[in-house]
Amino acid sequence: MGENTESRVTLPSGPERVKGTHHRDVDGYGNPITQQLRIVGQRRREAEEKLDRHLQEARKRD
């Protein structure tokens, strides 16, 4: 009950991987997931800098 008896298909990785099966470069950043992570990180850093500026301005006003 609840057991999966079907075999799973695994994709080759590392040296077994055939050339051309990886993601194409998106604007030179490589994998689209990597690009998304970089964008999220950049936005987070910008938001943290903005928050720091606002906090410093608030401290000066007090």
* Of 32, 13, 35, 14, residue with least CA distance to 24: 32
DSSP state of 48: H
* Domain residue ranges in the chain: 14-61
> C-alpha angle with apex 27: 22 to 29, nearest 5 degrees?
60
Q: How much is the average pLDDT of 39-60?
A: 98
pLDDT in tens, 9-46: 565 666 666 555 555 554 565 788 999 999 999 999 99
